[in-house]
A and B are shown apart, each in its own frame.
Chain A
Amino acid sequence: MPKEPEANLIQRWQRGERAAFEELVRAWEGPLGRFLQRMVGSTETAQDLLQELFLRVYLNAGKFRDQGEFKPWLYRIALNLARDHARKQARQMATRIDFAAEVASKSPSSDDELSLLEESEQVRQALSELPEQLREVVVLRHYEDLSFEAMARLLEVPATTLKSRFQVAMKRLEQQLVEMRIRDGS
């Protein structure tokens, strides 16, 4: 059976059809969950934020306009949630959960797998050490594959500024990853 176009699903959801809303949730929970995981650096927090995100979407059904694009709207909500969380975390100094430790606890570990997990943890750490503005650009550009123009609309920042931020972020990541490799002796 062919997949129903998203526009139809949105119309049905806005008319109050729960089935349509559930389909939209299932379609977007994966990408948005991963986006939140990369932004906040914690699976548990990302899980909570994802639930909060779809609650906001559900409550704001009337605010989404037909002519607006659904994906940027969802990402804007996700971004706001991640930013709010970062602000709260800065105040509370909450501890983060390592992805590597989580993954390792759920899967059998061979030497290769452990090595991959170590590398993953290095990337997670390097990403989490980036300032929020730079992390946003890297996640949206590299992982979500958004163009700088689309990012400019989403973040309401000029595309040229975002390009410079991306350059700076990549340079910093490169330095951090090199330092980590030297430190870990790999």
Chain B
Amino acid sequence: MEADEYPQVQEQLDKLVLPALRPVDIGALYQQALATPTPRPWRPRRVCLAVSAVSACLLLGVMIGRCDIALSQDGFSLTWRKPVPPQDPLEARLAQLEQQFAERSSEEKLEELKGLLLTLAGDVNQRDHEQKQALARLTDAVNAFEVATKVQFRETEQTQKTLYNALFSNRNLKGVNP
């Protein structure tokens, strides 16, 4: 045994004198047991009440957030605010730009309008130039087609003439009945 390594200590430990204790007072113990509150079992009713309370608080919070309270000379008024419809992102951007524009000074607005006009003019010029180019291309194509048609016409005329000559230049040949 490990304690054998310390026989003197063991011997000393045995010298510890303990005063006798009084016997346990069982009567007092029963009294204490009666006075001790027993832990209450889990009750679904309590949980339901707690859940209901939390839900009611949440609902109240939402309602307060949606109500407009106003105090005027006529008296106290409480109005229900309509929910804000979700905005289209493009419309939202436009509204934002409009707001930004409204916030600027007249000088800035004029500058911006000038810029906008120049942009529009540039855009018109660009489009005009493109249309002119397209028209020129079309004219060139029509002219080329006309030339080609003329050439074709001349060639056809030439062919016809050649054929005619070929047929009618041999009319005097004997034994030939055209």
User: Which residues does A use to contact B, with CB under 8 Å?
Assistant: 18, 21-22, 25-26, 29-30, 33-34, 37-38, 43, 46-47, 50-51, 54-55, 58-59, 99-100, 102-103, 106, 116-117, 119-120, 122-124, 127, 138, 141-143, 163, 166-167, 170-171, 173-174, 177
Count of chain B residues with a beta carbon within 8 Å of a chain A beta carbon: 26
Select B2's contact among A22, A143, A166, A177, beta carbons within 8 Å: A166
Closest beta carbon of chain A to B37's beta carbon, Å = 11
Given A54-B24, A54-B29, the answer on whether A106 and B12 have CB atoms closer than 8 Å is: no
Closest beta carbon of chain A to B4's beta carbon, Å = 10
CB < 8 Å A-B pair total = 94
The 6 lowest CB-CB distance pairs between A and B, nearest first, are: A120-B17, A33-B21, A170-B6, A123-B16, A119-B15, A102-B19
B99 CB-CB contact with A under 8 Å: no
A46 proximity list for chain B (CB < 8 A): 21
A123 proximity list for chain B (CB < 8 A): 12-13, 15-16
Does B12 lie within 8 Å of A43, measured CB to CB? Answer: no
Does A173 lie within 8 Å of B13, measured CB to CB? Answer: yes
Closest beta carbon of chain B to A134's beta carbon, Å = 13
B10 proximity list for chain A (CB < 8 A): 142
Best-buried of B2, B5, B10, B24 by chain A (most CB within 10 Å)? B24
Closest beta carbon of chain A to B103's beta carbon, Å = 65
